[in-house]
Amino acid sequence: MTNVERVRRHFSLDSSCPSCGYSIEDVDHVLRHCPLAYSIWENHIKPTVFNDFMNFPIKAWIVRNLTHANLFTDSPEDWDILFGALLWNIWLTRNAIEFESTVELTGLVVERSDDRREAGRRTILWHLRDLCHRNWVLRPTLIPREINMVADGIAKLALRDTIEETYYSVPPPSIQPLLIVDTGG
Ligand SMILES: [Zn+2]
């Protein structure tokens, strides 16, 4: 929660930014105008639109960046993922300064965000988005779990295990009988 919000809820009397000391620490300040954030955007945003980027209403700013990557950056590929990761890491860094008294360098925020973009590329949603952008005619069809036992079984395995991503080169033992059921129609 930003310090402006904490003051509004009577949790605190101090609305200033823990990072730079500016008197009003609201969302706009943390994510865009605080020197930590500002220097990151300066390095990622096209100079010709930088002024617009810094002055869009905050909600429209987030939506535009997630949906119109080429408006603000010369490297629009996966900008939505990198933008989200930069916001998240700016917020984490702000919290570290506020609660742990540790100061993190801007370079680390960017490095960590690039890692997150790389991780984002490996997620199933990213692959689905990639598939949807190919020149195919897609007709999404709901297949009830009762006639797709393998998918249902793998989903249950995922719920049981806490591992984030798993690749199977051979079907897990518990899935093998379900494969036979599915192939039988
Ligand atoms: Zn600040």
The region, left, alpha or beta by phi > 0 then psi within -120 to 50, assigned to residue 162 is alpha
pTM (2 d.p.): 0.56
CA of 82 to the centre of ligand 1 (A): 22
Angstrom distance (rounded) from CA 27 to CA 24: 10
**3-state SS assignment for residue 115:** helix
- What is the sign, positive or negative, of the torsion defined by CA atoms of 145, 148, 149, 152? negative
CA of 69 to the centre of ligand 1 (A): 26
CA of 175 to the centre of ligand 1 (A): 53
CA of 98 to the centre of ligand 1 (A): 11
CA of 137 to the centre of ligand 1 (A): 49
CA of 167 to the centre of ligand 1 (A): 43
CA of 112 to the centre of ligand 1 (A): 20
**3-state SS assignment for residue 123:** coil
Tens digit of pLDDT at every position of the chain (185 positions): 888 888 888 888 888 888 888 888 999 999 999 998 998 999 889 999 999 999 999 999 999 998 888 888 888 788 888 898 899 888 888 888 877 755 555 566 666 766 666 665 555 555 566 666 666 666 666 677 777 888 888 878 777 766 566 667 778 888 888 888 777 76
